[in-house]
Amino acid sequence: MPVSMTALADDLAAESAELRAILAPLDHHGWARDTPAEGWTIADQVSHLAYFDDVALQSATDPEAFRAELERIETEGGVNPDAVAARFRDLSGGELLRWFDLSRERLIDAFRGLDPGLRVPWFGPPMSAASSLTARIMETWAHGQDVADALGMVREPSARLRHVAHIGVGARAFSYALHGRELPAAPIRVELDAPDGSLWTWGPEDAADRITGTALDFALLITQRRHRDDLALVVTGPAAEEWVAIGQAFAGEPGTGREPGLFVGGSA
């Protein structure tokens, strides 16, 4: 089935609206609350999303300018998410929310009209426009999880988790490259119980290496929002075991993840 940019844009809009509903009631103290990401507040999570929305829009609409900026960043040592967060800590919660709203609206409007196969540059291998938009869904969900965790909230899993899982599975080779390891030849079968009770699958049905469990638990694992020990995933085979130890759905340097025991259960 062809990829629909309209459907992806609609899902990103829905994910954005869910996060915005959490953010809108926050006062100054709420925006300043620490999240599980070390050194990052809720405000930092939102500035991160807004900043990289602007960058993703540039990569798709003005790739030459993006490449020039990327060259400058790499000359200075590479992208540093902590430094990006520090740049915007003088903004109020209201200012951050307005920035997020505007950047997200521009991004969604622009990507709706793109060819899903258009190749766009990024902070790693180039990707299709469809994958870039899927990555924004994944990022919004993952950073939204940090916000929800900071506030002690439990979010209802949705069908949009499929995007998170899909990009996580697709990033397996990238995860190995980040760690300077060779990708094993062994394929991996991923079978996830979707929120609606259906089954989502990737990889050969007869693969010996397997990961099974809920879509939520896999999404939490592959975005490094939970340690594997705090999830109920069943991992079988050496290739699968190695992947769950290093896997990440997001670009950038290898993530540090979460300490075991910080959360007990996939949705807590």
Question: Residue 84 region, left (φ>0) first, then alpha (ψ -120 to 50), else beta?
Answer: alpha
Residue-wise pLDDT for 186-199, tens only, equals 999 999 999 999 99
Strand partners, 128: 119
Give the residue-averaged pLDDT of 210-234.
Answer: 97
pLDDT on residue 1: 55
**pLDDT(254) > 50:** yes
Higher pLDDT among residues 10 and 256, named by residue = 10
* Secondary element (H or E) of residue 187: none
Contact present, 209 and 186 (Cβ < 8 Å): yes
Overall fold of domain 5-155: Four Helix Bundle (Hemerythrin (Met), subunit A) (1.20.120)
Percent above pLDDT 90 for the chain: 86
- For the chain, the domains span 5-155, 162-246
DSSP category for residue 230? G
Contact present, 67 and 78 (Cβ < 8 Å): no
pLDDT on residue 184: 96
**Separation between Cα atoms, residue 64 and residue 87, nearest integer Å:** 24
Tell me which residue of 129, 215, 210 sits closest to 166, measured CA to CA. Answer: 215
Percent above pLDDT 70 for the chain: 97
User: For the chain, what is the mean pLDDT?
Assistant: 94
268 pLDDT tier (thresholds 50, 70, 90): very low
Residue-wise pLDDT for 129-146, tens only, equals 999 999 999 999 999 999
Residue-wise pLDDT for 44-75, tens only, equals 999 999 999 999 999 999 999 999 999 998 88
Tell me which residue of 73, 46, 80, 75 sits closest to 58, measured CA to CA. Answer: 73
**pLDDT(163) > 90:** yes
φ, ψ of residue 158 in degrees (nearest 5): -130, 170
Give the residue-averaged pLDDT of 211-240.
Answer: 97
264 pLDDT tier (thresholds 50, 70, 90): low
**Separation between Cα atoms, residue 16 and residue 20, nearest integer Å:** 6
Give the residue-averaged pLDDT of 111-129.
Answer: 93
What is the residue whose two structure tokens read 């988790």? 161
pLDDT on residue 253: 81
Helix 42-61 / helix 63-75 crossing angle, nearest 10 deg: 130
**pLDDT(252) > 90:** no
- Residue 189 makes CB contacts below 8 A (sequence gap 6+) with 201, 202, 203, 204, 205, 206, 207, 209, 210, 211
Helices (H), the chain: 5-23, 28-31, 42-61, 63-75, 81-87, 93-112, 129-150, 161-170, 172-178, 215-222, 238-246
Tell me which residue of 239, 245, 237 sits closest to 185, measured CA to CA. Answer: 239
- The alpha carbon of residue 64 and the mean position of all alpha carbons in its chain are separated, in whole angstroms, by 25
Q: What is the CATH number of domain 162-246?
A: 3.30.1050
